[in-house]
Amino acid sequence: MLDEKLKDKFKDYLLEKKRSRYTILAYSKDLDQFFEFLKENNIKDIKEVKRETVEAFLRSLFKRKFLPKTVSRKINTLKTFFRFLVNELKVIPASPAAEITHPRIPSKGPRFLSRLEYGALRDAVRDNPRTYAVVELMLQTGLRIGEVARLRLEDYKGKQLYVRAFESHEARTIPLNKNAQRALEEYLKIRPKSDNEALFLTRKGTPLSIRNIRASINRAFAKAGIENATVSDIRHTFIAQQLLQGTPVIVVSRIVGHKRTETTSRYLDYLKNYDFQPKHLSEL
């Protein structure tokens, strides 16, 4: 029988490495799927898995119409898992996934909101101080949605905002312009009285969750008539706007919390054909 405990040990390993909970969840689902494939093919021991086994699994995914991007993630899962079995548990001598190559994935690049779109987004949430503050803060700082949800009342320091470390992201302090400050001050006037230290609260005084924030912004997108947009596009737009203004890549990278400046630099290629007037959001 396949040792199901290997998956639990791998999960513990990922937790120790401080991988994000979303990554751990995705990897766990990928491994469940892979183990199911092994059982269906009468493979009873992880030591029996060969490169051909992994390739057969990937072919089965393509036959089931999985997208190349999804298959690529599953390859990453298997490479990491088997590397763990080799280096950490030492239950196999070599990884059967080591030489597996990723499928080619056409790159569409990030989506940026146009001036009309982020103007419409603001208008859609203007009557809700809390959602307006969240949207304005993200537009003016490029914060990740998880970072917004983790903000505490004490992190707002007027002209600056302290962004706490979480998972693999380091803590940082970022500047706030007048628009972001004004939006936060208006929200604080109606913030529910609560002993909870979270900056953004529900009406009941409990912390606003990532799910709450995403749902609110998605409703705002729909109300504003903005199609095919996600919460992450607000962050992309901030990065694009900063680079088009001429802000140095290394400065933008620090503000948005990129681990590598190369990640920020990549946006320059996407901006070549982007029709965006380099006017600061705060001027609108």
Task: Give the model's pLDDT for residue 275.
Answer: 55
Answer yes or no: do 70 and 193 share one domain: no
Q: For residue range 54-101, what is the model confidence (pLDDT) as tens digits?
A: 999 999 999 999 888 889 999 999 999 999 999 999 999 999 999 999
**Which stretches of the chain drop beneath a pLDDT of 50?**
278-284
Task: Give the model's pLDDT for residue 284.
Answer: 41
Answer yes or no: do 65 and 149 share one domain: no
In a domain, 96, yes or no: no
Q: What is the DSSP string of 212-254?
A: HHHHHHHHHHHHHT--S--THHHHHHHHHHHHHHT--HHHHHH
Task: Give the model's pLDDT for residue 1.
Answer: 62
CATH of the domain at 164: 1.10.443.10
In a domain, 102, yes or no: no
Cα-only R_g, the chain: 22
Answer yes or no: do 135 and 259 share one domain: yes
Domain of residue 207 covers 115-283
State the DSSP H helix or E strand holding residue 76, giving kind and residue range, or none if neither. Answer: helix 68-84
What's the structural domain count of the chain? 2
Q: Give the Cα separation of 50 and 77 in Å (integer).
A: 16
Rounded to the nearest angstrom, the gap between the alpha carbon of residue 32 and the centroid of all alpha carbons in its chain is 23
- Given 89, 106, 128, the domain boundary residue is 89
In a domain, 155, yes or no: yes
In a domain, 107, yes or no: no
